[in-house]
Amino acid sequence: MALSRSVGLKGLRYRGGGPMLVWALHRIGGLSIILFVSLHVVSSFFMQQTGSDFATWVNIVYESPWFQLFLYFFVLFHAINGTRIILMDFWPKLYRYQREMNWMVWLIFIPLYGLTVFIMIQSALTAG
């Protein structure tokens, strides 16, 4: 009976709270990884085959600290949250502790990302 219900666009409506934010960030992280890998393959192809300005421009974007911070944010969050999802898939009893596991994702992610930002800013200031 539950399968016969039509969700439609109501399923995409933001209902607030941490779980929805984690869900959205995980999906955005996956899309950003796909976008990065696709652009990297296309850029490498054009650089090797034609040496085009497009490939040079994409490589300049890759090397910018802002792009690296953006990409590292989503790759790291996607990896940590994906580990949480895998653990819950292997041990279904952990679904009872989903809220606590979401907090654990943030408690692991924030210091790791903060350390990375600190190191990247420090190396950018010393290189410049």
Mean pLDDT value of segment 36-65: 84
CA distance 120 to 61: 16
State what percent of residues in the chain have pLDDT above 90: 41
- Rounded to whole angstroms, the Cα distance separating 128 from 123 reads 8
| Tally of structural domains, the chain | 1
Q: Which of 83, 76, 65 is nearest to 111 (CA)?
A: 76
| Residue at 1 is within a domain | no
- The reply to whether 12 falls in a domain is no
Q: What is the pLDDT of residue 1?
A: 47
Per-residue pLDDT of 7-35, as tens digits, reads 566 666 666 677 788 888 899 999 999 98
Asked whether residue 9 is assigned to any structural domain, the reply reads: no
CATH of the domain at 106: 1.20.1300
Determine, yes or no, domain membership for 67: yes
Domain containing 59: what range?
18-127
For residue range 61-99, list pLDDT tens digits in order: 888 888 889 999 999 999 999 999 999 999 989 889 988
